[in-house]
A and B are shown apart, each in its own frame.
Chain A
Amino acid sequence: MSGAGCSGDFGLSKSENSATPGAGIGGSTARFTLLDNTLYVVNSTTLRAYDVSNSMNPIPGRQTKLGFGIETIFPYSGNLFIGTQTGMLIYDASRPGDPRYLSTYTHVLSCDPVVVQGTLAYVTLRSGADCRNNAVAANLLEVIDVSNLQAPRIIRSIPMINPRGLGVDGDVLFVCEGDSGLKMFDLTNPTAPRLMQHLEGVRSYDVIPNRDVLIVTGKDGIYQYSYADRKQLKLLSKLAIEPLA
């Protein structure tokens, strides 16, 4: 695989190992994700499961109340990690379509996608006008130990500028900083991300890292970079965006 900026994918190997056969990879800000022949859809308050064993015939299944301010969903190793405005919820999804609540990691009110790799979750916290949180300056990248899914535990908090989507692929982590650019971190020590490069001019919202190619969306275009060299991103292409007239 690929990155774990990714729905439907395990960050374990470079093969196209997918959490559900035939699924692709989404970004960290996704509200749709595929896991074990189930399409999980979050809206602001609920998690809805659709059985997609027959991909052409999705069948609505169980609906789970989650609370409020639900933003993102990320599948990993049979579990669902749900980013909300008040924290991260962990659900056991080992029974397809029947998620079971495990725990909540609570933080200050913010916007926050999450990605997971191994026993660590990486979460960005962002304050700002569109996050309903002007008062608290909470722009952070948090590293959370999820080895015990019942008791997630913060182990590091790194100041950010205005972080949004993020993606992880083995020894590298990418964090979108909105209008303040794109950051690449070295994860040789997975609990201590080390900043390798900050492309200040690349306004970014979300990423998909996959097989050494990073896809970045932002205000100005869709950029693709090679990260084969972990010290320096190399621009491969850019699809321009034509701003609204």
Chain B
Amino acid sequence: MPLLPHKTMRWLLLGIPLLDACTNNQVSPPGQTTDNRPIYRPIYGSYESVRNVRTMAVQPIRQAGKIYLKDGFLFVNEVGAGVHIVDNRNPERPVPVSFVSIPGARELAVKDSILYADNTVDLVALNIANPLNVRLVKRIENAYPVTAYPPMRNVRFECPDPAKGLVVGWQRSENESAKCWR
């Protein structure tokens, strides 16, 4: 069987990781000497700690994500952490009512008195009729693939190790040996 010409072979070997660069990579891009991209590391949680949705007292809004408006109530995603419920019947004086801790949450929608949110790998349906006592009514387990990379782009990150648990978020890191990037 004829061997591929040397040049072609080299191109093929280099080409594979390059094509893959759109999603998530295990190796650094070729030819990169100084890499100033921010570095992140995964935050791990156990399934038990992640699958724990609870109502808490009002919390400060630190990183506002998606918002949703329903019947004079405003729902503000705290990125990766949960949902602030705000009584917004008077937009001149919005009043935070409670915080629903939903580990990993980044998305939300409300129908009737049910709030849908992503709870890391699960989809949860929560009864918010009483915002001071939000209750889980349904959990669809593993509705999402396990997160293998951070939501930010043009970053380097420590490759997640499934043995350490579920990735529930990402934080900045100084670990220059981070091997993954996107």
Contacts and interface: CB of A to CB of B under 8 A. Distances in A.
Contacts of A221: 61, 64
> Which of A23, A26, A31, A213 has the most chain B CB within a 10 Å cutoff?
A26
Interface in A192-230: 205-206, 208, 210, 213, 215, 217-218, 221-222, 224, 226
Nearest to B151: A130
Interface of B: 22-23, 60-71, 74, 76, 86, 88, 91-94, 96, 106-114, 116, 118, 123, 125, 127, 137-138, 140, 143-145, 152-154
Given A41-B123, A242-B60, A242-B61, A237 B111 contact: no
Nearest to A56: B137
A237 B94 contact: yes
Contacts of A210: 69
Interface in A95-138: 129-132, 134
Nearest to A50: B123
A241 B143 CA distance: 31
A105 B143 CA distance: 29
Interface stretch (A32-40, A144-152, A156-164, A177-185): A32-40
Given A41-B123, A239-B61, A68 B22 contact: yes
Given A23-B109, A68-B23, A58 B125 contact: yes
A25 interface: yes
15 contacts: A6-B69, A23-B110, A24-B69, A26-B66, A26-B108, A27-B67, A50-B116, A50-B123, A55-B125, A56-B125, A132-B22, A215-B74, A240-B61, A241-B64, A242-B61
Contact of B154 (A39, A57, A60, A132): A132
